[in-house]
Every structure is written in structure tokens, then in C-alpha cells.
Amino acid sequence: MILPHKIHQPLSLRAKFPVLLLGLFLAMMAGAPSSAAAQLSASVSFMKFGWVAVGTSETQLVLLTNTGSAPVSLSSIAVDGAEFKISGVAMPQSLAAGASTSVNISFTPTATGWVEGEVTFNSTASNSTLALSVRGTGVKREPVTASPASLSFGQVPVGTTSKLSVNLTNNCLCPQKVAGLQITGAAFDVSDPPPAVTLASGQTITLNVSFTPQAPGVVAGSVMVDGPYVNIPITGTGASSTTTGTLSVTPGTLNFGSIALGATATQTSSLTATGGSVTVTSASSSNGQFAISGVSLPVTIPAGQSVSFGVVFTPTSAGTDSANLSFVSSTSTGTTVEALTATATKPYISLSWSPSTSDVAGYNVYRGTSTAGPFARLNPTLNTATSYTDNSVGVGATYFYATTAVNSSGVESSYSNLAQVNVP
């Protein structure tokens, strides 16, 4: 019969159609990238250097991260542009999923003018070649310089903030306009950035840069100052919030030696944080003759960095004195101590003169504060020696001395020539 034959033919077509759809789906799946594929990314899409004097260098840090779930082998790095160099990384290098590595890129211009190059990272990632554009400008002289030229915060606990300062100075005879700031790196910020300001020749302004890491690991960024195009590279490391730094003071024992009573002496010491940042909240001295200067508390010291301060000794009485400077901080021990010693001595002036050739029973010693006098006798009784020590002098004073000779009849001669003495 013809009717069954017509019905069977469409059944054959319907049987083949699901097979074709399955084959097409499998083909599409084979061509799609796997979500587990390794992917290499850089912390910046391009790297911009500031104005750099010919023959000098500026170095910035770029972080390479494996954002996939499979390992990546970083095989080589190629640099296009003779003015750009890389350092700080060994090849080849394997990056586990989520791992990062840092690469230093430096710009050393050999001539004035705009320079552009490219750094290419070759790896086994799905993006096997990752290109990073690098740019900078060579100048004869940088009109405005930063001090320090770069900032390193060291280790800072995650979620806390550490601050460092950098000074911008106009080194030119002409004014320089600071038009604004460009900040890279989400963990970095500049508190109270100055508005557009014009720096006169020799003028300095201060930028206060803060670092607030949100996760453990190395962080890199920069502050670009528009106008004079000063670039300040910044690095820091987010540390586990359980990381506690230690605080040390150098020197541990400070000896001023002998200081004249009434004088003031200052020596320099430093506080250093290791293993993590440390916040010094307060300081005190056990002896009022010793004081601290040159540091504003509280201050946070990043790991691996130091803060200098002055120790001032102002003696109020003669003799040997000692004290302890105690620094209270966020360390586990809480207090760090520096031991101090000093000896205060009375200033004095030692005088001597040639003996008189005539009949002399002794001498009188006179002192004044000007050549015109008046002069007062210092020795209460006749001085039979040809020397005298004046123990009643003041620091920073100037005195004029004269002697007279007295014979056996009690007759006193006129003043000798004047001797001027300046007490330091």
C-alpha cells in the first residue's frame, strides 16, 4: 500500500534532526574558551613616567597576576625601546592560580623628548602575549623634584592606614604651576590635595600620601603631579591584620659626655619598625633635663622604615645625670626605652700671666664686660701666683680681664693690657 510508505519517510527525517543538533552543540562547545583557562593580567593598562632628566632613571613596579584557575608559566619578557629596562624577576617563572609576581620597569632617557615603548610578557596563559605600553619624557632638567623620589610603605595591616609625606620643590628661577594630581592604585590616596597652586622659585609644598590595603599582598601605584609632570612611584604590602611589628630605638644608650652648665646639646636618634608597621602613640622622659624634639606623635612607621628624632639635654645643675626615654607603641611589648646619660660642668676661664720683675707681694685680677669697664676685682685676697681660675662665668658671655701688681708696701700698679675671652 502506498499510504504507509509516505508516512515512514518523514519519520526517517525526524530521527536524523536531533543528531545534527547534538553535533552542532558539541562543535560550539569545543570552540568556546574554558572558564578554567589561565589568564595573565597586569596591574596597569599602561605605564606613564614623568619628566625625567637625561641620564637619570625612574623605576615603577607592575604586578602580573594569574587570574585563572590553572597554572601559568611566564617564559620571557621582551622590551621594545632602548630607554626602558626590566629587573626584579627571574625567567622562566611559574604562577599558580591567583598568584602574582612583580616586575620593575625603569625609564632612563638618553635624549630630550617624548619616548614610547612596549613591554611584552610571554606565557602559557590563554593570552599568551600580554603587551604593556610604556611612556616617558626626557628633559634637560626637572623643574620640580620630589623628596623622597619614591615612597615605600613596607608592611601595613589590612584595613589600617599608614601615611608618608613627600615634598615638591621648585628648582627653577621661574614659577611652576601644579595643576592637579593623578593617583593610580586604589589603595593609595593623597589627603587634602592642594588646589592648583603656583610654586615660586625655591618654594616647597608637602603631599601627604596614605596607604590602606584591602587584601594581603604587594600593591603598586603612583602619584603624577600635573604641570611639572613629577611622577612619584609608590609601593606597599598588605599584611595580615594579626601581624604585629616590633619597635627598636638606635642607639639604645645615648651618652652626651660633658656639657657646660647653661648650654644646650642635641643628639639624633631613630625609631625603626620591623616585621610590620608600628604606631608610636606617646613618649616621656624620666628626667626633665632631657627632652624629645623633631617628631610629632602619634606617628605610624611602616615596616622596614625609620623615623629620626632629637634628644635635647639642657642641664640645670652641675653633675652627672641619667634618664630613660620611654616610647609607647602598638607593639606587643608596648614600651621601648632609650637610656640617656650626661655630665653638666660649670664653665670656667683659666688665666695666667708673666711675673713682674719688680718687688711684688701679689696680684689682683679684675674683670669687666667691655673695654671701658667698669672692672671688678675677682680675688678676695691677694693672689700670690701668676694664674687664676674664674669659676663665675656664664655661657655665651664675653669678658675682659686685667691684672695689677701689688708690692710689699701695698702699692698697686695700673691695669695690665686687657685680655678678651669669649665663653662658648
Band of the pLDDT at 128, cuts 50, 70, 90?
very high
> Per CATH, which fold does 142-243 belong to?
Immunoglobulin-like (2.60.40)
Percent of the chain with pLDDT over 90: 61
pLDDT over 70 at 207, yes or no: yes
pLDDT for position 243: 62
CATH class of 246-345: mainly beta
Q: Amino acid letter at 315?
A: P
Cβ count within 10 A of residue 38: 22
Q: Which stretch of 62-71, 109-118, 172-181, 237-246 has the lowest confidence by average pLDDT?
A: 237-246
| Residue 103 · residue 79 · CB < 8 Å | no
Overall average pLDDT of the 236-262 stretch: 85
- Grid cell in block for residue 188: 593609595
Overall average pLDDT of the 210-221 stretch: 91
Q: Which residue has the higher pLDDT, 183 or 20?
A: 183
Over residues 150-201, the pLDDT tens digits come to 998 877 888 888 888 899 999 999 999 998 899 999 999 998 767 789 999 9
pLDDT over 80 at 2, yes or no: no
Residues whose CB is less than 8 angstroms from the CB of residue 403 and which lie 6 or more positions away in sequence, other chains included:
351, 353, 363, 364, 365, 366, 415, 416
pLDDT for position 200: 94
Band of the pLDDT at 377, cuts 50, 70, 90?
very high
Of 116, 117, 105, the C-alpha closest to 64 is 105
Q: Which helix (H) or strand (E) holds 20?
A: helix 2-31
Band of the pLDDT at 65, cuts 50, 70, 90?
very high
Q: Find the DSSP H helices in 276-417.
A: none
pLDDT for position 156: 82
Cβ count within 10 A of residue 288: 10
Residue ranges of the domains in the chain?
36-140, 142-243, 246-345, 349-422
For 135-167, give the DSSP string.
EEEEESS-SEEEESSSEEEEEEETT--EEEEEE
Dist. CA 323–CA 354, nearest whole Å: 46
Query: Strand 151-157 relative to strand 230-239: parallel, antiparallel, unpaired?
Result: parallel
pLDDT for position 30: 40
- Grid cell in block for residue 63: 604586578
The CATH number assigned to the domain with range 349-422 reads 2.60.40.10
Dist. CA 318–CA 346, nearest whole Å: 6
- Which pTM was predicted? 0.55
pLDDT for position 31: 42
Dist. CA 275–CA 70, nearest whole Å: 32
The CATH number, out of the four listed (2.60.40.10, 2.40.50.140, 2.60.40.420, 2.40.30.10), of the domain defined by the range 36-140: 2.60.40.10
pLDDT over 80 at 278, yes or no: yes
Computed over every residue of the chain, the mean pLDDT equals 86
Q: What are the counts of helices (DSSP H) followed by strands (DSSP E) for the chain?
A: 1, 34
pLDDT for position 7: 37
Q: Do domains 246-345 and 349-422 have the same CATH topology?
A: yes
